[in-house]
Every structure is written in structure tokens, then in C-alpha cells.
């Protein structure tokens, strides 16, 4: 059954294509300007990552609730973090916090291989089903504590953390290539600092703060509940 009959006649401007076009324009005006990043967002159907209750808001520029008390990130932040990662077509990327798999899908369109780790089995299973539906062949998933990274697959060219780390993510930085790039929200409070670490080629890093963000926390261990 569809709810469409109950909707007021919103006119041609309110169609999903128009909502997507508006979203892309909004991202561009806020500084997400790289064409490959915008193209990856434009070709990723956010509604399939969004719970039924919020599907009509899939193309709003806001974070939305998903299962297990988690969230699918705001498209602008997804664009900003993806752009900050400076992906190359040959990049092997580690993502911590699969969640809905929306960010993973965007990374998979811009990199060679994406390794993604999630601490909720339910979220991981649902995300895996979406990757299958979308025909993604370059995503490798793992149920585990992403705070420990993925030592067996290290080192990585790029690492993206989509949950807030309490402090400098040392274990993850140790799994980055010497000239690699890591992007992560850092902080314990409700508002964190989005930081980018760029390897200096000699084992050190140059860190910079990009903007303030609000992420769910990076938690220790795997979730006991499903």
C-alpha cells in the first residue's frame, strides 16, 4: 500500500529527482565541489539506506535514525569527509562504523577496495544486503571492534572513522601507510572536531581541524545485543 494518495499535491518541483538536484546544489554551495565526490553522492540512492519511516526525507541534508540507536550521516558531512580523504582510484580504504552502508557505498565508487567494520551484527547484515542489491564487488565487511582497525589487512592508503573517537586514534593511525590520510571526528562530547591526519612519510602526521560535527560515539568492543 502506498501513502501517496494521502499526500497533498506538491507539484512537479517536489519529485525525488528535484530533491536530489537540490541536495547536490546545497552540498556544492557549502564547499563539496569535487565532481567525482558529487557524482558518487548523486548516483547513490539514499532512500535504500533509510528506514521506511524516514524514506520521504532521504534527500534532505540531515542525519536520520537507523536501527540499533545509530544514525545515517548527513549528506553534507558524508561529502565533506569523502572529499577530505583525497581518494585515488587505487586507494585501499578502511572505514570504521558501517552503519547503514551509505558512506561505504560512496567510498566504493571512488576507491579500489573498501574494508568496513561494524560492531552491530544487525546493521552489518542489512548493509551487506544493500551492497549485494547494488552489485558492489569491492566492499569487504567485518563484524568487530573497529577501534582496533583491521590489522590483517593493514596498511591502508586511507582510513575514515564515522563514529566519534575519544582522542587521537593511535591504533588506527598505526595502520595507515606513511603518506596516508585519516579522517575522524574526535571528542567525547555531543559536538566533536572533525580532524584530518596526513602522514608525513616518516611515521609522523600533520593534523588539522576541519569543522565541528555531531557523531554517535565510537564504543569499545562489539555490541552484545543483535
Cβ at position 142, least distance to ligand SAH in Å: 9
Residues 210/187, Cβ–Cβ less than 8 Å = no
> Which residue's CB is nearer to ligand SAH, number 82 or number 91?
82
Q: CA-to-CA distance for 10 and 25, rounded, in angstroms?
A: 21
> Which residue's CB is nearer to ligand SAH, number 200 or number 220?
220
> Which residue's CB is nearer to ligand SAH, number 147 or number 199?
147
Cβ at position 39, least distance to ligand SAH in Å: 18
Cβ at position 208, least distance to ligand SAH in Å: 22
Cβ at position 95, least distance to ligand SAH in Å: 7
> Which residue's CB is nearer to ligand SAH, number 118 or number 157?
118
Binding site for ligand SAH (CB under 6 A): 70-73, 96-97, 99-100, 102-103, 117-120, 123, 145-147, 162-163, 216, 218-219
Residues with catalytic function: 73
Amino acid at each position: 500500500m502506498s501513502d501517496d494518495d494521502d499526500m497533498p499535491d506538491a507539484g512537479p518541483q517536489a519529485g525525488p529527482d528535484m530533491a536530489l538536484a537540490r541536495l547536490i546544489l546545497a552540498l556544492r554551495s557549502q564547499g563539496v565541489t569535487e565532481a567525482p565526490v558529487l557524482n558518487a553522492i548523486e548516483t547513490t540512492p539514499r532512500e535504500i539506506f533509510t528506514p521506511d519511516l524516514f524514506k520521504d526525507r532521504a534527500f534532505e541534508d540531515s542525519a536520520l535514525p537507523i536501527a540499533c540507536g545509530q544514525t545515517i550521516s548527513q549528506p553534507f558531512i558524508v561529502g565533506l569527509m569523502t572529499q577530505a580523504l583525497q581518494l585515488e582510484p587505487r586507494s585501499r580504504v578502511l572505514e570504521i562504523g558501517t552503519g547503514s552502508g551509505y558512506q561505504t557505498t560512496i567510498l566504493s565508487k571512488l576507491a579500489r577496495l573498501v574494508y568496513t567494520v561494524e560492531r552491530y551484527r544487525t546493521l552489518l547484515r542489512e548493509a551487506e544486503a544493500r551492497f549485494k542489491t547494488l552489485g558492489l564487488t569491492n566492499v569487504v565487511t567485518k563484524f568487530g571492534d573497529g577501534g582496533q582497525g583491521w590489522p590483517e589487512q593493514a596498511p591502508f592508503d586511507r582510513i575514515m572513522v564515522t563514529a566519534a573517537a575519544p582522542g587521537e586514534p593511535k591504533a588506527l593511525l598505526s595502520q595507515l601507510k606513511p603518506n596516508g590520510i585519516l579522517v575522524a571526528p574526535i571528542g567525547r562530547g555531543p559536538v566533536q572536531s572533525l580532524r584530518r591526519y596526513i602522514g608525513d612519510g616518516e611515521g609522523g602526521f600533520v593534523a588539522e581541524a576541519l569543522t565541528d560535527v555531531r557523531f554517535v560515539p565510537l564504543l569499545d568492543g562489539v555490541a552484545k545485543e543483535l
